[in-house]
Amino acid sequence: MLAQLNHSRLVEQEMAANERAAIAQRELLEAIPIPLVVTAIPQHEVLHSNVPAQHWLEGRSIDPWLSGLSAPARARFFQQLADQGAANEFEVLWQGAESRNWALLSARRLLYQAQDAVLTTFTPINSLKAMEERLALWAKVFEASSESIMITDGERRIITVNRAFSRSTGYSFEEIAGQTPELLRSDRQPDAHFEEIWRVAVTRGSWQGELWLRRNTGESFPLWAVINAVRSDSDQITHFIVVAHDISERKANEQRISHLAQHDVLTDLPNRSLCVERLRLALQLAERQARRVGVLFIDLDRFKNINDSLGHHIGDSLLRSVSRSLLSAVRVGDTVSRFGGDEFVIILNGVADADEILQIVNQRLIPLIRQPHEIEGVELHISCSVGIAVYPEHGVDIETLMRNADAAMYQAKFSGRNNAQFFSIEMESRARERLDIENDLRHAVERGELRLFYQPRVACRSNRLLGAEALVRWQHPRLGLVPPGRFITVAEESGLIVPVGAWIIDEACRQQAEWRDRGLGDIPVSVNLSAVQLGDPSLLEQLATTLQARRTKPQMIELELTESLLMENVDSNIALFHALKELGIVLSIDDFGTGYSSLSYLNRFPIDKLKIDQSFVRDMLDDTNDLAITRAIIGLGHTLGLKVVAEGVEHIEEKQMLAAAGCDELQGYLFSRPLPEDEFARWIKANAALAGD
């Protein structure tokens, strides 16, 4: 009995102990912070779940897998359990009522309360997943970046590079991993530069700038690179991150742009700014080596005619051809540049003396330019005028040399073109005077400083007044009465001849009408026209308007044009002459005999008069040639049905000779100098008394 009692107490105690153990186990199970779920097989009823699992079950008691997993995931999960009796770290996206969460499921098959069951734990991995996605994104960015990226360890051993890096260097990841960036070092820059870059990256934590690297093909290329040092918590450099992009194209563009900025588009020769730069260098060098530098200003003679008559594209081709000739005339290292238009400037470096320059210019440059240029199957001929200034004789600075070469070129033009002139001191003062005159001339018309003087033209036999030539003078406030020889060329070159010429025409018309109105008679007035005026498209209209405004009869106005001017643009001039004739204006050829007019051309111009050049008249008495020419011109004029005028008649013998030769009209000091209008009016009256048929 006692034993019996004892036994039942023991059993009771054991049961109590078991009960305690079961409770403890359950408590332990409940206390595990890992979500645990036991589900039955095959219906998947939830047999047990601990508190942390409630979050995942959300009250589902039968088959939580059905709504929690996607159908394929659920199928795979149970397949694994069936095959292996377990599933480890099975990654799922768990579908809750409100949200979806990433989890790793680990499951074991077991017998639970004598029932076939599955124990599943849930490990939430949302944050890991997010990190993983970020990493994947970074990897994509890294690979997809158009910038080359290279990551090295603290010892500069390459850990990884991206595709852009491989593309621009030609090295694949496999080839370059484990190497150092030394492999890419280019000899386009000193080695010290490379060292310096790393030194800065280490000491300052970063470096950026331009740098040349070498591709695996050996070719160097420029990049813009940024290097950052990455430090650990203990401040050790653990990595270097290098981000770079290829700037070869940008460099090439920059070069193209700077080439464009420094070269003339038409000829590809250096332009003014590059020429000045080259001259600066040439002067520095010449100073050190005690050598000379030649500065040549070259202007093509009568280029404008070619351009105007044959068209701009022919003109352009000719300029290109000339630039080639110039290049072949000079030595390697000399500079041939174009300043625009038909102006070229050459710098001859390090020459010994003026003779050497003259040799180059006279033996090579001028002859090469004069050789025919074949343009579109046609041979064009051109010459040039060259002005030369030599360092240090004619200036030691750029500006002076340029200005003096320009003045010398001007002089070369003046002395008949097709030649070269060295600069001289007289040229300098002449150039300065020319500049002063141009500046003052700008205001001469508006300030009423211009005057017309009139020189009578008389009938050869009777001395009867046939007309007057209007000759311009400039009443300059400081210089006094300036003759046209000193300012007409300046006016032509500066374009001022257009307003000046318009004033002259207007004034001549006004005067003609005034004499008539005052009862002095209808005196024809002749006006000299310059080439620039002839090329002015508004000339015709301006003449017509002025004639009308001043109430002057067109036949009372004569235009004097020089022979050479006529021959410059034959076809357009013939047309213009016909239009002028249609207005009723009288036309005469001035300074006849000095040009080279072709008689066949002359015939085509609707002209009325020839004016024999003064030089023939002046020398006629002493020089039988000039007498012969004078007679020939008179004969020729008459054959063509023209009146012939002789000017510069100073002596009575000349008058007699001309009368004998049959000349029609005379003009010269013998009759009168050019006179201001009031004196001219007096002369008319006095002469009327003398003249007789």
User: Nearest distance from residue 590's CB to Ca ion, in Å?
Assistant: 4
- Which of 528, 533, 569, 630 contacts Ca ion by CB under 5 A? 528
Q: Which stretch binds Ca ion (CB under 5 A): 88-96, 174-182, 449-457, 559-567?
A: 559-567
In what helix (H) or strand (E) does residue 83 lie, and over which residues does it extend? helix 71-84
Q: Would you say 504 or 587 has its CB closer to ligand C2E? A: 504
Give the N- to C-terminal CA distance of the chain in Å, as an integer. 194
Q: Which stretch binds ligand C2E (CB under 6 A): 60-68, 309-317, 370-378, 524-532?
A: 524-532
Closest CA to 421 of 392, 382, 398, 389: 389
Q: Is 483 in the site for ligand C2E (CB under 6 A)?
A: yes
Neighbouring residues of 418: CB distance < 8 A, sequence distance ≥ 6:
301, 366, 370, 383, 384, 385
Helix (H, G, I), strand (E, B) or coil at 621: coil
Footprint of ligand C2E on 411-440 (CB under 6 A): none
User: Nearest distance from residue 527's CB to ligand C2E, in Å?
Assistant: 6
Residue with tokens 């813009």: 224
Q: Would you say 349 or 667 has its CB closer to ligand C2E? A: 667
Q: Would you say 68 or 668 has its CB closer to Ca ion? A: 668
Q: Which stretch binds ligand C2E (CB under 6 A): 219-227, 427-435, 484-492, 653-661?
A: 484-492
User: Nearest distance from residue 660's CB to ligand C2E, in Å?
Assistant: 19
Distance CA 462, CA 530 (A): 32
Q: Is 530 in the site for Ca ion (CB under 5 A)?
A: no
Distances in Å between the alpha carbon of 137 and those of 133, 134, 140, 148, 444? 6, 5, 5, 17, 80
Distance CA 41, CA 53 (A): 19
CA dihedral 263, 264, 266, 269 (to 10 degrees): -60
Q: Tokens for 306?
A: 């070619």
Amino acid found at 138? W
Residue with tokens 């004969």: 635
Distance CA 661, CA 196 (A): 96
Q: Would you say 319 or 470 has its CB closer to ligand C2E? A: 470
Question: Looking at the DSSP assignment, which residues form a beta bridge with residue 112?
Answer: 115
Backbone angles phi, psi at 331, to 5 degrees: -90, 160
Q: Would you say 406 or 590 has its CB closer to Ca ion? A: 590
One character per residue 216-255, x = contact with Ca ion (rule: CB under 5 A): ----------------------------------------
Q: Would you say 529 or 589 has its CB closer to ligand C2E? A: 529
Footprint of ligand C2E on 487-516 (CB under 6 A): 488, 504
Q: Which stretch binds ligand C2E (CB under 6 A): 59-67, 75-83, 361-369, 527-535?
A: 527-535
Residue 668 touches which of Ca ion, ligand C2E, none (Cβ within 5-8 Å per kind) = ligand C2E
Q: Which stretch binds Ca ion (CB under 5 A): 1-9, 287-295, 460-468, 582-590?
A: 582-590
Size of the site for Ca ion (CB under 5 A): 4
- Which of 563, 591, 626, 654 contacts Ca ion by CB under 5 A? 591
Closest CA to 269 of 334, 314, 366: 334
Closest CA to 288 of 357, 331, 350: 350
Q: Would you say 264 or 613 has its CB closer to Ca ion? A: 613
Residue 536 touches which of Ca ion, ligand C2E, none (Cβ within 5-8 Å per kind) = none
Q: Which stretch binds ligand C2E (CB under 6 A): 229-237, 350-358, 581-589, 647-655?
A: 647-655
Distance CA 398, CA 600 (A): 50
Q: Which stretch binds Ca ion (CB under 5 A): 14-22, 81-89, 497-505, 554-562?
A: 554-562
Residue 341 touches which of Ca ion, ligand C2E, none (Cβ within 5-8 Å per kind) = none
- Which of 455, 494, 569, 597 contacts ligand C2E by CB under 6 A? 455
Closest CA to 560 of 631, 468, 489, 678: 468
Residue 664 touches which of Ca ion, ligand C2E, none (Cβ within 5-8 Å per kind) = none
User: Nearest distance from residue 448's CB to ligand C2E, in Å?
Assistant: 16
- Which of 124, 154, 350, 484 contacts ligand C2E by CB under 6 A? 484
Q: Tokens for 188?
A: 């386009």
Q: Is 560 in the site for Ca ion (CB under 5 A)?
A: yes
Cβ neighbours, 10 Å, residue 529 = 23
- Which of 471, 534, 576, 607 contacts ligand C2E by CB under 6 A? 471
One character per residue 560-579, x = contact with ligand C2E (rule: CB under 6 A): x-------------------
Distance CA 630, CA 400 (A): 47
Amino acid found at 524? P
Backbone angles phi, psi at 89, to 5 degrees: 45, 55
Amino acid found at 591? D
Residue 648 touches which of ligand C2E, Ca ion, none (Cβ within 5-8 Å per kind) = ligand C2E
Q: What sign has the CA pseudo-torsion 515, 516, 522, 526?
A: positive
- Which of 590, 654, 664, 665 contacts Ca ion by CB under 5 A? 590
Q: Would you say 322 or 565 has its CB closer to Ca ion? A: 565
Q: Would you say 52 or 668 has its CB closer to ligand C2E? A: 668
Backbone angles phi, psi at 604, to 5 degrees: -85, -10
Q: Tokens for 49?
A: 């779940």
Q: Which stretch binds Ca ion (CB under 5 A): 48-56, 413-421, 511-519, 526-534?
A: 526-534
In what helix (H) or strand (E) does residue 280 lie, and over which residues does it extend? helix 272-289
Size of the site for ligand C2E (CB under 6 A): 23
User: Nearest distance from residue 487's CB to ligand C2E, in Å?
Assistant: 9
Q: Is 648 in the site for ligand C2E (CB under 6 A)?
A: yes
- Which of 477, 480, 485, 537 contacts ligand C2E by CB under 6 A? 485
Distances in Å between the alpha carbon of 88 and those of 107, 127, 409? 7, 20, 98
Distance CA 344, CA 296 (A): 8
Closest CA to 498 of 471, 525, 547, 538: 538
Distances in Å between the alpha carbon of 605 and those of 529, 531, 587, 601, 609? 16, 16, 9, 7, 11
Locate the DSSP E strands across 419-491: 420-422, 450-459, 465-476, 480-482
Per DSSP, helices labelled H in 145-171 are 163-169
Q: Is 528 in the site for ligand C2E (CB under 6 A)?
A: yes
Question: Looking at the DSSP assignment, which residues form a beta bridge with residue 296?
Answer: 346, 388
Residue 168 touches which of ligand C2E, Ca ion, none (Cβ within 5-8 Å per kind) = none
Question: Looking at the DSSP assignment, which residues form a beta bridge with residue 385?
Answer: 299
Q: Tokens for 235?
A: 């401040």
Footprint of ligand C2E on 659-678 (CB under 6 A): 667-669, 674
User: Nearest distance from residue 492's CB to Ca ion, in Å?
Assistant: 15
Q: Which residue is nearest to Ca ion (CB)?
A: 560
- Which of 406, 590, 664, 665 contacts ligand C2E by CB under 6 A? 590
Q: Which stretch binds Ca ion (CB under 5 A): 117-125, 371-379, 489-497, 589-597?
A: 589-597
Distance CA 608, CA 631 (A): 18
User: Nearest distance from residue 358's CB to ligand C2E, in Å?
Assistant: 33
- Residues lying near ligand C2E in the complex (CB under 6 A): 455, 470-472, 483-485, 488, 504, 528-530, 560, 590-591, 647-650, 667-669, 674
- Residues near Ca ion (CB under 5 A) are 528, 560, 590-591
